[in-house]
Amino acid sequence: MTQTQPARSIYFIKAMQEGLRAAMAEDDTVVVIGEDVDRSIIGATRGLIGEFGDQRVRNTPISEATFVGACVGASAVGLRPVVDLMVGSFFYVAMDQLADQAAKLRYMSGGQVDLPIVYFTATGPSGSGAAQHSENPHPMLMNVAGLKIVMPSTPYDAKGLMLSAVRDPNPVVYLQDFVLGGTKGEVPEHAYTVPIGVADIKRRGTDVTLVAIGALVPRALKIAAKLEKDGISVEVIDPRTLVPLDLDTIVESVTRTGRLVVCDNARLTCSAASEIVAAVVESAFSVLKAPPQRVAWENFPVPFSPVLEKRVLVSDDDIRAAVVKTMTG
């Protein structure tokens, strides 16, 4: 990936905000709404109210269904709303307005209208957030046609995908895996975009294709580095966008490696891991040297106690074991 200088190391959350600020600066119709977006517990919108005022950065009541739906009408008449849902699980409260209204109106109308909306949120496990604050909703949302879904894993992608998401003429769900917020990485100062729908090969390898999503990408890279020492060359792919999914990049990699492991930071059943494995098997079965492996959460809610939470979520050992299994089994 080519970076234009000057770049400096900043936090993921700061990078999201830089992408958002750039979008707000270039287009007055971009507005940010959500609960307490002025102070912003997670931080992506913190301080923007000072620059852009309380009409473009607006706190909402706790009425998710209504403000998620309001963005459909607002975008249809010319606004570009960016909504902070705060936590991934809160999408459930607004599911009809998201899945039946925002996602479907353009299609149902026969293409009459563009609905440029960004629904972003911090999401996923954060350490004993318990069952109602730890889920990643992307498996559910991937089944809803009409929503683009991005889930960056680096500050660089976080900034570039935010600007792309706000410029996109469609509803885009932008998922910030909770634990990534405080990670740092090289980010150019200037505004730039990372294209929606294009996966990124984060590490080249020859033996196994390891697809990792969100917070699992940096962990996959560490594991790949370790495995290198054991003589296993792992290629790590970050889809970055889950809808539309860049299947070609993944299939091309599997064609070279013949082995596939997909790690999803979500519950196993009907996860992105299931989808990617099924799709690859359909189109690249003949090149597979070993059964593709899924690594995802146990099919349980995320429990509170650290020992229990650890048991349900994906561990580095799970990932490593799955990679090794494709080499040996």
Partner 1 sequence: MTTPPRADLPAQEQADLLRQMIRIRRFEEKVAQLFKRGQLPGFVHLYLGEEAVAVGVCSALRPDDRITSTHRGHGHLLAKGATVDRMMAELFGRVDGYCRGKGGSMHIVSFALGIMGTNGIVGGGIPIGTGSAWGDQHLGRDTVTVVFFGDGAANQGVFFESMNLAAIWKLPVIFVCENNGYTEWTATEKLTAGKIADRGQPFGIPGVQVDGNNVGDVRRAVERAIERARGGDGPSLIEAKTYRWHGHNEGEEAFAGAYRPEEEQQHWRQREPIAAYARELIASGVLDQAGWDAIDSEETRAIDDAVAFGKASPFPDAEEALLHLFADSTVGHPTVRRTPVRDTPDGDQR
Ligand X SMILES: Cc1ncc(C[n+]2csc(CCOP(=O)(O)OP(=O)(O)O)c2C)c(N)n1
Q: Which helix (DSSP H) or strand (DSSP E) does residue 201 occupy?
A: strand 200-203
Is the Cβ of residue 182 or residue 304 nearer to its own copies in the bound state?
Answer: 304
User: For residue 178, what is the DSSP state?
Assistant: G
DSSP 100: I
Q: Is 279 in the site for partner 1 (CB under 8 A)?
A: yes
| Number of other CB atoms surrounding residue 96 within 10 Å | 12
Q: Which of 243, 250, 254, 263 binds its own copies (CB under 8 A)?
A: 243
How far is Cα 304 from Cα 212, in angstroms, rounded to an integer?
25
Pairing of strands 293-297, 234-238: unpaired
285 binds, among ligand X, its own copies, partner 1, none (CB under 5 to 8 A by kind): its own copies
According to the binding rule CB under 8 A, does residue 108 interact with its own copies?
A: yes
Residue 191 within binding range of its own copies, rule CB under 8 A = no
Strand partners, 59: 34
Among 44, 48, 86, 323, binds ligand X (CB under 6 A): 86
* 272 forms part of the interface with its own copies (CB under 8 A): yes
Number of other CB atoms surrounding residue 127 within 10 Å: 9
Considering beta carbons, is residue 93 or 131 the nearer one to ligand X?
A: 93
Q: Which helix (H) or strand (E) holds 321?
A: helix 316-328
Say how far apart CA 183 and CA 11 lie, in whole Å: 6
Q: What is the C-alpha separation between 291 and 300, in angstroms, rounded?
A: 25
Instruction: CB nearer to partner 1: give 65 or 287.
Output: 65
- 138 as an active site residue: the answer is no
Which position among 133, 138, 148, 294 bears the catalytic label?
133
In terms of CB distance, is 170 or 326 closer to partner 1?
170
Q: Which residues are catalytic?
A: 133
Chain positions contacting its own copies, by CB under 8 A: 89, 92-93, 95-96, 99-100, 103-104, 107-108, 130-132, 139-140, 142-146, 243, 245, 266-267, 269-275, 277-279, 281-283, 285-286, 288, 290-294, 299-301, 303-304
